Chains A and B, each alone.
Chain A
Amino acid sequence: MKLEIRGLTKRFGDFVANDHIDLTIEPGEIHCLLGENGAGKSTLMNMLYGLLDPSEGEVLIDEVPRSFATPGDAIAAGIGMVHQHFMLVPVFTVAENVMLGDESVRGGVFLNRGQATERVRALSQQYGLKVDPEALVEHLPVGVQQRVEIIKALSHNAKVLILDEPTAVLTPQEIEELMQIMRELRDQGTSIIFITHKLREVKAVGDRISVIRRGRVVGTADPSTSEAELAEMMVGRSVKLVVDKEPSTRRDTVLQVEHLTVTDPRGHQVVKDIGFEVRAGEVLGVAGVQGNGQTELVKALIGLIRPDTGVISLDGNDISGHGPRRSLEAGVGYIPEDRSHDGNVGSFSVRENLILDLYRDDRFARGMALRLDDIATNAQERIEEFDIRTESDQTPVSALSGGNQQKVVVAREFSRPLKLLVASQPTRGVDVGSIEFIHRRIIAERDRGTAVVIVSTELDEIYALSDRIAVMYDGRIVGTVTPDIPREQIGLLMAGATDTGEERV
């Protein structure tokens, strides 16, 4: 199936999010879309999938103009989309989720589970999508849930599959598997529109690359183009993909963690007797496959979870179990891993989110009264400084593109003096230009004498920023190394090998 986009335009008020976009998706190709945060990639996809009405322009499928008022129309025309936030019912099995709303597996008023299970099995075999049709979705890891979404789209006979930043939440292993699945789908004739900010992935699976900047297609490239060139096409200037940094000048210990043990709400011990220290002017990178206790470690560090045992001392004062407010006031900055869940209030304006944890500060409040003028000025400054692309500072944050939402969180946490910065996936969903910027800011913060803890599943990011790397596996720190050790060795540690490599768990 050939999909042709002609002059597609989307306006939000005066703002043009997509400006006469022309794009052709050939049958059986993986077409990558690259573009800065807020360039309009998701907007374009939402129009293709019937979630937004185009202001102008048309979509042709096999030379026939089509219009989609609802996702139902788009699905019927053979377009499938995997949302970044999966739309699955957690307490249903895989097969039940796939047959939701699918009339063909109905036997009268009853649902024909057997047939649905068979369908899932057939699809998963055909495309090499390994998944157990009878498993409950809530028990599946993110990567497998994503596969279920893909199967769901395929079960509606999708000929064009839209994947909007599918790799942002996956582990490197899962990304590898996803790319394999994408190749398999392409070889069997499905076209894929693949959006990502990771240039390596584009080069690995892409057949063709289109670059969007400020709502316009500014060029196409093929996968042999170098990462630096691609980055330049996206951002319109040359981008340093690796931060320059001086060796750290380690000073006094700021954060000292001893014998920290944390139990999650289900009663599993997820952080097991961890101890480490971070000094002023030093970045400690915490590497590890998602789900090995990093989330809970970070939450304990900023006081969102009370640890079972252990001491978290900041400048010599134990702050464990004092709650986030005390940590904030003691000078801890925090960039949470899930910005829409923990970082921003979606319905609040950009302006309000920029002071979400600063509203009590004398700069922004006089007694109980908010200082509206100062809050507005602050917003203008942060928007300028961090290049947050938004219609205005009164726009609700939920209307911003994903990467720009992340910039709001980052801008806020960098707008006060910090002793310790805890950043979890600080550049998730952020474009290369902004990654460069955020990384530079983190290093500048370090050089100012802040102790920094970076938790990331991206080894690139860990290597780029860290002065020391602690690898977490199964709730423990299995090794602390310097960034000059080869990736393979860290990979081994992440898989559970201990320092010496002999004791596998």
Chain B
Amino acid sequence: MSSLRMTAGWWASAKVTLAAFAIALLIGAVLIAFSDEDVVETLPNLFTYPGDFFVAAADAIGSSYWAMLKGSLGSWHAIASTLERSAPLICAGLGVTFAFRAGLFNIGAQGQMTIAALIGGYVAFAWQLPAGLHLLCALVACLIGGALWGGVAGVLKAQAGAHEVITTIMLNYVAASVLLYALSKDAFQRPGSDNALSPQPLDTARFPSIGGVHLGVLLALLAAVLVWWVLDRSTLGFELRAVGANPNAARTAGMSTTVVYTVAMVIAGALAGLAAAMNVLGEGNALSPTLVGSIGFDAITVALLGRASPVGTVLAGLLFGAMSVGGVAMQASVGTPKELTAVIQALIVLFVAAPTFVKALMRFKDQGGGTTLLAKGWGA
């Protein structure tokens, strides 16, 4: 009976997500049609030859989405790119998810990744160590860098009550500036270059490739399993979720909100650090101001779409990774701008955030309860 209840809840949110995805694709299709030159050419004659318009539109939409699908999943090579692109999204998303379960809205994955990349990157290009050991050191450096930056927000929250949304946003700016500053110093500058660019990470510090994907992908999935275990099966996760859901009752039960907030942000930061490792040690990118891109922010979206559950975050990360790889392929092969995928992603999140709207659109029967405020006896 109880498991039925849980599956019902799970299925309900999956339904909304799938519906949101479908609606977003539909709106995306309209955008594709009207940004396609062949379709636009048929418009003046829309009322005389409406058929032309529909044929052209169907052709544009079909070929764009087909290119996207093929580019992201059509071959082993495509799948490998998708996995590698998803890995940092998954890790950073897990960081946001983890903090969220402790009741903390962690906007700081971006800054945590930046600091992690800075420290880990330095180890990766500056230190000279034997292959395995070098990778290990660089990886740990990434984790420590992220944990450090996340921990700052955690300590500020726990000790001074500073709201984590404010501090993590501010720390993002600080991290970006720290990176720029470091890149202006000789220690980080690539010799013989005037650009804000560091040397390439050494090969000894790179993730080895297994079957076409780098080891980091495996680590990302392992991290997800670990996060699931900690949240669902461990005493730490129990404390974390209790503090996130009702800090007063948690404190009364002898839990320390101070410890929980700090630990949650340290671990969230370490997960963001793992995401940075995907960039630096996986792709082998040199440090530059644009290294992290917008992964730290996309992570928030991924976690939100994944309903702050580890499994959901992995699925959402894979979806976003596939769309981003597919988008590039689509632009290359049929010329539809890859920015379209960003629009679709944003729409999905928008609809997921407005479940009532999606349910109304799709005419799902609302199960009631949920958002309705129920009057109960006192204290109920």
Contacts from A to B (Cβ < 8 Å): 13-14, 41-42, 45-46, 49, 51-53, 81, 83-85, 164-165, 168-169, 195, 302, 304, 323-325, 327-329, 334, 336, 338-348, 352, 356-357, 359-360, 365, 368-370, 372, 391-395, 398, 400-403, 405-406, 428-429
- Is A401 a contact partner of B380 (Cβ separation < 8 A)? yes
Q: Output the least CB separation between A264 and chain B (Å).
A: 16
> What chain A residues lie within 8 Å of B379 (beta carbons)?
84-85, 168, 338-341, 402, 405-406, 428-429
**Choice from B245, B252, B377 contacting A347 with Cβ under 8 Å:** B245
> What chain A residues lie within 8 Å of B250 (beta carbons)?
345
Closest to A391 in B: B1
- Is A352 a contact partner of B376 (Cβ separation < 8 A)? no
- Is B252 a contact partner of A49 (Cβ separation < 8 A)? no
> What chain A residues lie within 8 Å of B2 (beta carbons)?
391-395
Contact with A along B173-200 (1 / 0, CB 8 A): 0000000000000000000000000000
Contact with A along B1-31 (1 / 0, CB 8 A): 1111110000000000000000000000000
Contacts A392-B1, A401-B377: A356 and B242 contacting too (C-beta < 8 A)? yes
Interface of A is mostly: loop
Q: Output the least CB separation between A447 and chain B (Å).
A: 27
**Choice from A14, A325, A347 contacting B256 with Cβ under 8 Å:** A325
Is the CB of B129 closer than 8 A to any CB of chain A? Answer: no
**Choice from B5, B245, B378 contacting A168 with Cβ under 8 Å:** B378
Contacts A344-B249, A347-B245, A352-B238: A85 and B5 contacting too (C-beta < 8 A)? no
Closest to A412 in B: B253
Is the CB of B40 closer than 8 A to any CB of chain A? Answer: no
20 additional contacts (CB under 8 A) given A164-B375, A370-B234: A42-B377, A42-B380, A49-B375, A51-B375, A52-B368, A164-B378, A165-B377, A168-B377, A325-B255, A327-B254, A341-B248, A345-B246, A348-B241, A356-B249, A357-B252, A391-B5, A394-B2, A400-B380, A428-B379, A429-B379
- Is A83 a contact partner of B251 (Cβ separation < 8 A)? no
| Complex Cα spacing A357 to B254, Å | 6
- Is B375 a contact partner of A42 (Cβ separation < 8 A)? yes
| Complex Cα spacing A348 to B242, Å | 8
Q: Output the least CB separation between A360 and chain B (Å).
A: 6
| Complex Cα spacing A394 to B6, Å | 9
Is the CB of B160 closer than 8 A to any CB of chain A? Answer: no
In the complex, how many residue pairs between chain A and chain B have their CB atoms under 8 Å apart? 144
> What chain A residues lie within 8 Å of B235 (beta carbons)?
359-360, 365, 368-370
| Complex Cα spacing A405 to B377, Å | 10
**Choice from A13, A323, A372, A403 contacting B5 with Cβ under 8 Å:** A13
Is the CB of B75 closer than 8 A to any CB of chain A? Answer: no
> What chain B residues lie within 8 Å of A168 (beta carbons)?
377-379
| Complex Cα spacing A423 to B335, Å | 71
| Complex Cα spacing A429 to B242, Å | 24
Contacts A365-B235, A368-B235, A394-B2: A304 and B380 contacting too (C-beta < 8 A)? no
Q: Output the least CB separation between B184 and chain A (Å).
A: 44
Q: Output the least CB separation between B103 and chain A (Å).
A: 11
- Is B372 a contact partner of A340 (Cβ separation < 8 A)? no
Is the CB of B233 closer than 8 A to any CB of chain A? Answer: yes
- Is B236 a contact partner of A368 (Cβ separation < 8 A)? yes
| Complex Cα spacing A338 to B372, Å | 23
Contacts A45-B375, A195-B377, A334-B252: A372 and B245 contacting too (C-beta < 8 A)? no
Q: Output the least CB separation between A346 and chain B (Å).
A: 7
Contacts A342-B248, A347-B245: A356 and B253 contacting too (C-beta < 8 A)? yes
